[in-house]
A and B are shown apart, each in its own frame.
Chain A
Amino acid sequence: MKRFKLIVKRVVQIVPILLIVTLLAFFLSNVSSGDVATVTLQSRGVQPTEQNLAAVREELGLNAPLPVQYINWLKKAVQFDFGISFQTHKPVSEEIFARFPATLKLALAATLMSLVFSIPLALLSARYKDSTADHTIRILSSVGATIPDFWLGLMLLYLFGVVLKIVPVISGSKLSNIFLPAFTLSVAYGATYVRVLRSNLIEVRRFDYMKAARARGLGEGKALAKHGLKNALLPMVTLIGINFGKLLSGQIATETIFSWNGIGKFAVDSMKVKDLPVIQGYIMIVSITYIAINLILDILYMYIDPRIQSD
């Protein structure tokens, strides 16, 4: 029952965020430089004149008062109808959904990679606290968290693409090329996870159940991995999930650097040519995904942490 109430509370909290997002997206087409009717006509390859401008205004419903326009726009938006891309002349949602799998793959690979790096490093660091290994790992994670991902991406591309010639400089979104962009993204996240996980593990180490596990004959490392890790990872689930949501919203810089045809690159490319319907669609779709992930996380967390069930 308590769980249900929590979920309802979360859903209610989402409403204002959705309102802001939809208003932003809606005003994007209204306030932005250039009259919508003119831009629409130009995108159809028609020279704007007084008559056809009026006709297009009527057609797009631009003569109605703003609130009515907003409601109309919203009605279409909930059906994922964001109009036609000026650039490709195809429905916006179709274009975005076509690129979504690439972004999803990249997000999954980056998350997985960041965990694969960070868990063993954090365990090592916490197990041998204040040793040389610990200090090295801590410095590495500080550096990892400091290097901006866009520069790291460029440098990796230079190293592996230009100097070592292992990967093509212009790669495209083939799965075989996923390693570098995923690694680029995983460094910053992984560095954060190492830090958080290390301090969680050190915290956990003080608990009696760790001593009890040792008294049962588990080695210190094993006790840490078996009893410490799960307890230390639980509070991180939210962080990892939120970061996954961020990754899913399209990593514009990384996708651009590695010519990875995901939604982030699509959005920024569209921005350059003022393809407003695409930007609108992107903002809506990404926000909804992001909100959904956060909601799922909250619910998921209630199930993974057994402590919340019984409260």
Chain B
Amino acid sequence: MSETPVLQIRSLKTYFYTKNGVVKAVDGVDLDVGKGRITALVGGSGSGKSMLSMSVMNLVEKPGRIIDGQVWLNGRDLRTLSEKELKDVRGKEIAMIFQEPTSAMNPVLKVKNHLFEAVHTHDKKLRMRDKLDEFRDVLLRVGLGNPDKILESYPFELSGGMCQRVMVAMGIVTNASVLIADEPTSSLDLTTQAAILEELLRLKDAGMAIVLITHDLGVVAQTADDMYVIKDGKVIESGPVCDVFASPQQAYTKFLMEPIALLR
């Protein structure tokens, strides 16, 4: 990594204050995400990798609270920005693909309204009809045939996999410099999964910095450049994917890799 990373996280801590004590969801994480690279966050469920992405966006909800750390994006520390400035960052500089595609879409809005909102929020002058061609194109790229029908559909009329591809399309149309993709391929069949990963690689080549949150090391091996292994809110191992795969240092990493070793 010769260039300065687009996104730099330094000793970020997000704690949840519950009745039963403090849960350290993110506990002093350092992370670098380079331009034109795919950075994978790997860990089991509950490891804090999803909460890490919400912390980056500063969207942690009560009883959770970000208590310490810096989030540098393009030379600015997001933690020092006002809510108003943050609104401009969210969805414009950092876009997010959510894990649960069906629940992350508003049931009473059509797909085209979702796509349009992703861009219109940051450019009020845009008109829907000027963007429709682009939307169709993006939907085709994520493997959704018949884009005209998809645009006019409501989320619940689509399958989970289709929603997930729409979510990816929503991430793409924003043209953000950082894309955080939380398990973008978890509910897809292998063919569609390949199409999505290919699209992520294409975006990466176009210069986007991509954070890929996943528990699937197969996906990491195929696409990612760097990886961070997260356990109990802490980074326990990190480095270029080929290095970590060649000689995992931690028992937990080895444990995560077992299914892949078996396949080989």
Q: Do chains A and B touch in the complex (CB under 8 A)?
A: yes
Q: Are B157 and A209 interface neighbours, CB within 8 A?
A: no
Q: Interface code A215-235, partner B: CB below 8 Å = 1, 0 otherwise?
A: 111110000001100110010
Q: How many interface residues does B have (CB within 8 Å)?
A: 31
User: In whole Å, how far is A224's beta carbon from the nearest beta carbon of chain B?
Assistant: 12
Q: Interface code B41-74, partner A: CB below 8 Å = 1, 0 otherwise?
A: 0000000000000100101000000000000000
Does A207 make an interface contact (CB < 8 A)?
yes
Q: Are A208 and B104 interface neighbours, CB within 8 A?
A: yes
Q: Which of B95, B98, B107 contacts A306 (CB 8 A)?
A: B107
Determine which residue in A208, A216, A231 has the highest number of CB atoms from chain B within 10 A of its CB, and name it: A216
Residues in B neighbouring A218, C-beta threshold 8 A:
87, 91, 117, 121
Q: Interface code A292-311, partner B: CB below 8 Å = 1, 0 otherwise?
A: 00000000000001110010
Q: How many A-B residue pairs have CB under 8 A?
A: 75
Residues in B neighbouring A119, C-beta threshold 8 A:
none
> Which residue of chain A is the closest to B155 with respect to CB atoms?
A209
Residues in B neighbouring A310, C-beta threshold 8 A:
154, 156-157
Q: Which of B84, B100, B117 contacts A213 (CB 8 A)?
A: B117
> Which residue of chain B is the closest to A234 with respect to CB atoms?
B108
Q: Are A219 and B83 interface neighbours, CB within 8 A?
A: yes
Docked complex: A188-239 residues within 8 A CB-CB of B:
207-209, 211-219, 226-227, 230-231, 234
Q: Are A217 and B107 interface neighbours, CB within 8 A?
A: no
Q: Are B156 and A217 interface neighbours, CB within 8 A?
A: no
Q: Are B108 and A230 interface neighbours, CB within 8 A?
A: yes
Q: How many interface residues does A have (CB within 8 Å)?
A: 21
Q: How far, in angstroms, from A239 to B88 measured CA to CA in the complex? A: 38
Binding site for A on B (CB under 8 A): 54, 57, 59, 83-84, 87-92, 95-96, 98, 100, 103-109, 117-118, 121-122, 154, 156-157, 170, 174
11 pairs, A vs B, C-beta closer than 8 Å = A208-B98, A212-B96, A214-B59, A216-B95, A217-B92, A218-B117, A227-B106, A227-B109, A231-B108, A234-B108, A306-B156
Q: Across the A-B interface, give the 8 residue pairs with the lowest CB-CB distance, nearest first.
A: A217-B91, A216-B91, A208-B103, A217-B90, A215-B96, A208-B104, A212-B104, A209-B106
